């Protein structure tokens, strides 16, 4: 599972939608609006978890299970596919 089927145009479409103020970048709030559920109850389940910071030299596979990493990859694939399909409709 990877991202080889996506290109710079797909990333541009994502940023174009997420960048509410047209600054050419997105901040954490804009990023959160894209990824968090619209329901405050479900968004709270994600945002109310304690922080777990990465220390240098730690294996990143210790932070998320393999299934969680695969789900995150699938989420990003879906987001990029939807943006591509919306652009095709426009």
3-state secondary structure 63-84: CCCHHHHHHHHHHHHHHHHHHH
Q: pLDDT tens, 18-52?
A: 998 889 889 988 988 888 888 888 888 878 876 66
24 is in which domain, residue-wise?
A: 8-52+60-89
The Cβ-side half-sphere exposure at 18, using a 13 Å CA radius, reads 22
Q: Is residue 48 part of a domain?
A: yes
pLDDT at 1 over 60: no
Domains held by the chain: number: 1
Q: Is residue 1 part of a domain?
A: no
DSSP label of 5: T
Helix and strand numbers, DSSP H then E, in the chain: 4, 0
pLDDT at 57 over 70: no
Q: Is residue 2 part of a domain?
A: no
């Amino acid at each position: 599972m990877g991202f080889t089927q996506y290109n710079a145009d797909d990333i541009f479409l994502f940023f174009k939608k997420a960048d509410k103020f047209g600054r050419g970048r997105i901040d954490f709030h804009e990023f959160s609006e894209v990824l968090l559920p619209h329901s405050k109850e479900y968004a709270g389940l994600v945002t109310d978890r304690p922080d777990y910071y990465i220390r240098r030299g730690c294996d990143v596979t210790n932070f998320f299970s393999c299934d969680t990493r695969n789900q995150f990859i699938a989420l990003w694939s879906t987001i990029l596919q939807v943006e591509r399909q919306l652009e095709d409709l426009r």
